[in-house]
Amino acid sequence: MFTQLIQTALSQRLMTALLAVLLVGFGTNALLNLPIDAFPDISPTQVKIIIKAPGMTPEEVESLITQPIEVELLGIPDQAILRSISKYALSSITLDFDEGTDIYWARQQVSERIANVWDDLPGDISGGLAPMSTPLGDMFMFTVDNDELDLEEKRFLVDWVIRPALRTVPGVADVNALGGFVKTYQVKPRRDAMVRLGVDNDAIVMALSENNRNDGAGRLDQGEEALLVRVSGAIENLDDIRNILVETGNNIRVPMSEVADVSIGALERYGSVTADAEGEVVQALVIGLRGANAREVVSGVRSKMADIEQTLPAGTSLNIFYDRSILIEGAVSTVTRALLEAVVLVLVLLGVFLGSLRAALTAAFVLPLAALFTFLMMNSLDMSANLMSLGGLVIAIGMLVDSSIVIIENIVSALASQSPGKKRLPHLHIIYRAVKEVAVPVVSGIVIIIIVFLPLLTLEGLEGKLFRPVTLTIVFALLGSLVLSLTVIPALASYTLKADAHREPWLPRQLLNIYRPVLNVALARPLLPASIAGGLLVLTIVIFPLVGKTFMPTMDEGDIIIQLESIPSVNLDTSTNIVNMVEEAILEEVPEVVRVVSRTGSDEIGMDPMGLNETDIFLQLKPPEEWTVSSKAELEERLRTVMNRFRGFNYGFTQPIDMRVSEMLTGSRGDVAIKLFGDDLDALNANAQQIAAMVAGIEGAIDTVATLNEGAQYLQIELDRMRAGQLGLDAEALQQRLRAEVEGLRVGTVLEGTARVPLMILYDDVSGDGEEQMSNNFITFGEGSVMPLSELASINRVEGPVSISRESGRRFAVVRTNVEGRDLVGFVEDARNTLAESLDLPEGYFLEWGGEFENQQRAAARLTLVVPIALLLIALILFLTFRSIVQTLLVLSNIPFAMTGGLIALWATGEFLSVPASVGFIALLGIAVLNGVVLMSHFNHLRDKGLEITEVVRHGAQRRLRPVMMTATICAFGLVPLLLATGPGSEIQKPLAIVVIGGLISSTLLTLFLFPITYRRFVGNLPA
Amino acid sequence: MTKLPVILFLTLGTLRAFGQSQIFLDEGDIQLLDLEFAPVAVAERQLGVSLPGVVVSPPDASSLGISLYPGVLERWHAAPGEAVEAGAALATLRSVEVLEVQQDYQVANTELTLARQQHDRDSQLFDAGIISRRRLLESETTLGGAQAALRSLESQLMVLGLRQSDLQALLAGEFDLGTFTVRAPAAATLSHRAYVTGEHVPANAVVAELNGNDRPWLSVRVPARLSPLLDVGGSLSTAASGHTLTLRQRDFNIDVLSQSVEVLAEFDGQVSVVPGQLQTVVLHPRPGAMLIPAAAVVHEGVESLVYVRNPNGVEIRALSLIPMGDAYLATSGIRAGEQILVKGAALVKGIQLGLGSDE
């Protein structure tokens, strides 16, 4: 098959060229149309349900809303995990589905189940499915600033001008508004007037509800024309409200102004936004649709913002403080630069090793073509160009030229071996024979490397989503390079390479001069290299436990978020003041911070239901070149110094995407999430605090926190239903009245153009001690009678939980910690041991270890399973190639020595064994085997010619020195740009580069010195 | 759950409570956390619990013109807003029942005259020895009865607003029979006519309302749970205008339906309010209580805590507090002049709970 392919390519060179041109065309088109993002889409198929339940405590939300919905959702097939959180007035339920589940089907299933149970839920709830976004959907954030507008006006702009406009941008799921005040038309009943006139709350509600509507009254015929009748009754301004008549206890009606003050007000707030220690601001957050191209979405949003800004009130500016496209550009440029640098390095090395610019360029021609082929395949599979997929291409660069180098080198040798004067074979024939000679080993080598990477396609979870693109691009690139090496490269070589007297280039000559005597020594004293190799193996075994294990290096996103947590019972104003204080300190003492925007509490939609005591402080940093510190770690240390001076609240560091990914995957933030499952909230809280204290004492623990999930203050009003009933009071009406008392009761909507402004009833502010004021509150009932609320209900101040978290139907509390200065796995082991010794859990309570650690365990388990399978497949291919078990085993024996160098390199550089490093080891497997295959093939070839075994290995090793060194050097140098890169995302690829480069050094040296000895020892006695 | 963990938990909690009575703060902390302290002061009078009240006429002073008999209102003698003297005619009514009383009066007067004549004759005959003493006594008894009957009817007619002159006119046959007059019980201003001319007025109906010239009172319904704050002679004030009142009367029985007690308080000075007007009233604290601003108080479990400054930082002090409007009152556990934390209590509570750095 291959010979046919080679033959066709050489005999139809024009066709081959045309196909290459088509490849260039289509590949370039694919490149230009490739979506570009920072990360591959790592979000699972996830459906989120958000239910708002005004006035309900977390326990009520849990029992009345969360649990019934969870029970209903449990029957949906293909679900992976069900999590929920019940907070004051909010239930948030997240259902993850198995990989590959269609999101629309999933949403449909959830929708149906919710419809089944909706009628059984308390009547006054609202909500449903959250927008179809992912936790990584927060793409773009900006504040709306104008010195002439107040917070309410700015919020109005966001809600009714900016948000509707931005929602038209393709790819935008929603625009979340935060901060400011939501305008309302507010009716404040005067209690004294109500008592005097015998007006109760129901009468006011009814009057407002029934007097706010436009309607059609039908059609009148006028001759041959029709006149449409429209009755205008909707409220348009405050006077309309004031003039609405309200029924009194004396069956007479009085204007609303007699019983209430009517004015513009604001909705009860559940969150605020501050910036730069200058007080409150209004923020908008653009949420992208699932699967949307972030760069395109951001570009569309920016364009739309430019249009909107011109229509906004004079002096209004939209100030961006988070733009995902910056990270995308940074990450992509990091890997693009690495790619280009790798290409240049490879070209230089090719030239140096081949000694011929023509040969080098011919061989290097496979690089852009293979890359274009890769882009074509990526486009057809709807893959994006991101850190990981392009990173795969960088990893493969060194390997892409392998096959073309072997082919070009053989062509050069074959052309040079044509002695002048003798009858020469046709040029094309020489090339054909040269290519055919190496076709099988080239194909085997590529197939081996592809097989080596295939196990990565079986990785699950986050690591699967991250490294699948890497694997696919490597496989595509290698396949492309293989086909091109057998077709386009020989065709090109037929034009570019001539029969020249070939002289060994300078570098290979020097290398040979060094190698020859050392090889001779090794062959004369075989125990010496064997001992060295054995020593290295022993060293590896000793070092392995010392190399820390972790899941993934943390990508530097360039932004920092500080998460604050105050006491659970803090109010919004106090929380905002605390944040203001922190902002001021940061801006004063950390010059690297150019802007601080802080969000306290929850957003309107409820996508991120934080409590009033929780704040995310977003730090916008200057470019690193303007920093006074040398690294981000140092910057964080400086921030920590500032934060540690404050007391009375907890804090932790994270990054925008990192925070969301952790929450998405585990429901909590942090390197390690220790989940304690149990039933009793008090026991969960107490034990969680104990666990936190123990874990905080373990070396490497930092930012250890168990959320203080108690101490929220509730004013519990329990109605005496019999008493209320005796007085003819409707409990529901009373509850409505109480809601109007505290938070406000929405009774309608006033249309202001396209804006829909809530119409609210809200009584006088409950000030001072709310318990006392509520107790003394006189409730009006029937014919002007009054009674203090304390006689209709028991009113007690109680403490309760802030929230109730559940997973798979069980309550849990979580202790979060980050790990610094040591490996994750070692830390978790120590933590496990400590807790096993000192923690005594109640019966039925158990721990689960999650967070990044969970991912690491899963990845390690999967790799432990699939890598041996890959090795078996490689062994099979080797056996099919060499038809000898001994030779197969000899080639495979290269692998441990390759691992040696990789592990020593990790240890020496202080890096941890992570998933990227594991991928590096996997890549090393293939390259190490390839070197063995190259040597083994040539040794066998020389044996077949009848040479004596020592001469076989001496001559063969020297002959193959150049290709082996070329393969190793080009692969290694191809990764040097990744090793030295510093931009966003470079942290993820660096361990891979370290492992491969270190492994290549050991593998190459041991292959060149030890393999000839082992071949002579084990194969030499076998028949040829 | 076994006992041991509970005991341990309680022990730890108690130890924690004792161990946590002091929070160490230096000047740097105070400045950094923007903490503010203020001295505790005695609660001022203007504080208190606000309740709705309604202005009423003084309870001992009659302020109503009442028709004791049913009738038809024939004529008004005063207009709303007009000042009337005590006893001045307010309205004249015509009543069949009153006609009967008046007729009875006339008859009684005639019988009295006859009885007197009979008595005079009998006296002369007794003096002449013609009749016995017994017969004289009989005529004396008849005379006495006739006098009593006349006096009774006279009283009724006077209650009905007839004066002596009217009675004489009645006897002389010069009085409009069947009419009676509702008169002002005291010097006051006619504030309201309850009926119009020609309208039938039932018995015991309020025909007219008057505003007395005495100081008005205020009726307040106070939730029973607040009744310990009520002392007769204690002071109240109106929230809006600041007028002071003195509590004069309070119920000692709780109204079963509303579980509240009614108190009546008299304005201390002349005020321009009218009966029926709603006023928000403030019940004041007892003297000597310390005022604790709401911002200074945090709650942990059932305890109310304040942070009292001392040289090492703050002392955590649990107080028994009485909510009083926007603030609290403490009657013990704290002295005037002690510095308490009035800003930043949430942060200090966080320190108390172990949040944040220990530095």
Three-state SS annotation for A975-989: HHHHHHCCCCCHHHH
pLDDT beyond 60 at B11: no
**Could you tell me if residue B359 is inside a domain?**
no
Q: Which residues of A are less than 8 Å from B11 in CB distance? A: none
Q: Is B347's CB within 8 Å of A767's CB?
A: no
Three-state SS at B324: strand
* Whether B235 and B314 share a structural domain: no
| Alpha carbons B232 and B244: distance in angstroms, whole number | 14
Q: Please provide the size of chain A in residues.
A: 1024
Residue bearing tokens 């500016």? A317
Q: Is A192's CB within 8 Å of B278's CB?
A: yes
**Could you tell me if residue B298 is inside a domain?**
yes
Quick check: A187 and A759 in contact, CB under 8 A?
Answer: yes
Q: Is A649's CB within 8 Å of B347's CB?
A: yes
Mutate to test the interface with A, among B226, B273, B299 (most CBs of A within 10 A): B299
List the 152-191 stretch of A: residues with Cβ below 8 A of B: 191
Mutate to test the interface with B, among A250, A567, A690, A786 (most CBs of B within 10 A): A567
Residues of chain A with pLDDT under 70: 418-424, 499-503, 604-606, 664-670, 708, 764-770, 776, 778, 780-787, 1023-1024
* Whether B97 and B125 share a structural domain: yes
- What φ, ψ does residue A486 adopt, rounded to 5°? -90, -10
* Whether B77 and B202 share a structural domain: yes
| Alpha carbons B226 and B283: distance in angstroms, whole number | 9
Indicate the pairing of strand A803-807 with strand A793-800: unpaired
Residue bearing tokens 């270890």? A849
Domain end marker among B212, B241, B271: B212
CATH code, domain carrying B271: 2.40.30.170
- Note the pLDDT of residue A780: 67
- Note the pLDDT of residue B2: 42
| Alpha carbons A61 and A91: distance in angstroms, whole number | 6
pLDDT beyond 80 at B149: yes
Residue type, A471: T
Q: Is B223's CB within 8 Å of A797's CB?
A: no
Q: Which of A43, A1010, A20, A8 is nearest to A535 (CA)?
A: A1010
| Alpha carbons A144 and A811: distance in angstroms, whole number | 40
| Alpha carbons A427 and A597: distance in angstroms, whole number | 70
* Whether B99 and B205 share a structural domain: yes
Domain end marker among B243, B267, B283: B283
**Could you tell me if residue B311 is inside a domain?**
yes
* Whether B78 and B208 share a structural domain: yes
- A1021: DSSP letter: T
CB atoms within 10 A of CB A18: 11
Residue type, A493: A
Residue type, A164: P
Burial of residue A320, with CB atoms counted within 10 A of its CB: 0-12 exposed, 13-18 middle, 19 or more buried: middle
Q: Is A774 on the interface with B (CB under 8 A)?
A: no
| Alpha carbons A469 and A984: distance in angstroms, whole number | 18
DSSP string, B271-300: ----TT-EEEEEEPPPTTPEEEEGGG-EEE
DSSP alpha helix (H) spans, A883-914: 885-892, 894-909
Quick check: A369 and A361 in contact, CB under 8 A?
Answer: no
| Alpha carbons A548 and A906: distance in angstroms, whole number | 9
Domain membership of residue B326 as a residue range = 3-45+288-353
Q: Is B325 on the interface with A (CB under 8 A)?
A: yes
Residue type, A894: N
Domain end marker among B187, B212, B237: B212
For the segment B101-107, the average pLDDT, to the nearest whole number, is: 92
- Note the pLDDT of residue B4: 43
List the 281-320 stretch of B: residues with Cβ below 8 A of A: 294, 298-302
- Note the pLDDT of residue B228: 65
| Alpha carbons A813 and A806: distance in angstroms, whole number | 8
Nearest to A648 among B50, B301, B351 (CB): B351
- State the total domains in chain B: 3
Using 50, 70 and 90 to split pLDDT, how confident is the model at B341? very high
CATH code, domain carrying B37: 2.40.420.20
* Whether B188 and B107 share a structural domain: yes
Angle between helices B164-172 and B96-127 (to 10 degrees): 80
% of chain B with per-residue pLDDT over 90? 38
* Whether B165 and B82 share a structural domain: yes
pLDDT beyond 60 at B359: no
* Whether B83 and B193 share a structural domain: yes
| Alpha carbons B3 and B7: distance in angstroms, whole number | 6
Q: Is the torsion defined by CA of B286, B291, B295, B298 positive or negative?
A: negative
| Alpha carbons A744 and B103: distance in angstroms, whole number | 69
Angle (CA) A964 A969 A970, round 5°: 105
Q: Is B347 on the interface with A (CB under 8 A)?
A: yes
List the 204-263 stretch of B: residues with Cβ below 8 A of A: 221, 223-226, 257-260
- Note the pLDDT of residue A215: 73
**What residues are paired with A846 via a beta bridge?**
A677
Nearest to B356 among A649, A683, A727 (CB): A649
CATH code, domain carrying B77: 2.40.50.100
- Note the pLDDT of residue A165: 94
Q: Is A708's CB within 8 Å of B351's CB?
A: no
- Note the pLDDT of residue B19: 46
Three-state SS at A798: strand
At A803, list the tokens.
């929230």
**What residues are paired with A468 via a beta bridge?**
none
- Note the pLDDT of residue A131: 83
**Could you tell me if residue B358 is inside a domain?**
no
* Whether B131 and B234 share a structural domain: no
| Alpha carbons A1016 and A1012: distance in angstroms, whole number | 6
| Alpha carbons A475 and A480: distance in angstroms, whole number | 8
| Alpha carbons A909 and A73: distance in angstroms, whole number | 49
Q: Which residues of A are less than 8 Å from B32 in CB distance? A: 581, 585, 645-646
At B288, list the tokens.
């000597």
Q: Is the torsion defined by CA of A736, A740, A745, A750 positive or negative?
A: positive
Quick check: A929 and A874 in contact, CB under 8 A?
Answer: yes
Q: Which residues of B are less than 8 Å from A190 in CB distance? A: none
* Whether B19 and B137 share a structural domain: no
At B254, list the tokens.
């709780």
Higher pLDDT, B53 or B61: B53
Residue type, B191: S
Using 50, 70 and 90 to split pLDDT, how confident is the model at B18? very low
> Whole-number mean pLDDT of chain B?
83
Spell out the residues 6+ positions from residue B284 whose beta carbon is closer than 8 angstroms to its own.
B45, B46, B47, B48, B234, B235, B236, B237
* Whether B276 and B146 share a structural domain: no
The dihedral formed by the CA atoms of A482, A486, A487 and A493, expressed in degrees to the nearest 10: 120
- Note the pLDDT of residue A261: 92
Maximum separation of any 2 CA atoms in chain B, in Å: 127
* Whether B41 and B55 share a structural domain: no
| Alpha carbons A811 and A813: distance in angstroms, whole number | 7
pLDDT beyond 90 at B349: yes
- Each residue's pLDDT tens digit, B161-205: 888 888 999 889 898 889 999 988 888 888 889 899 999 999 988
Q: Which residues of A are less than 8 Å from B350 in CB distance? A: 566-567, 647-649
| Alpha carbons A196 and A259: distance in angstroms, whole number | 9
Q: Is the torsion defined by CA of A574, A578, A579, A583 positive or negative?
A: positive
**Could you tell me if residue B343 is inside a domain?**
yes
Distance from CA of A704 to the nearest CA of B (A): 11
CB atoms within 10 A of CB B21: 12
Spatial strand order of the sheet with B83-84 comes to B64-67, B205-212, B188-193, B83-84
Q: Is A686's CB within 8 Å of B9's CB?
A: yes
Residue type, A942: L
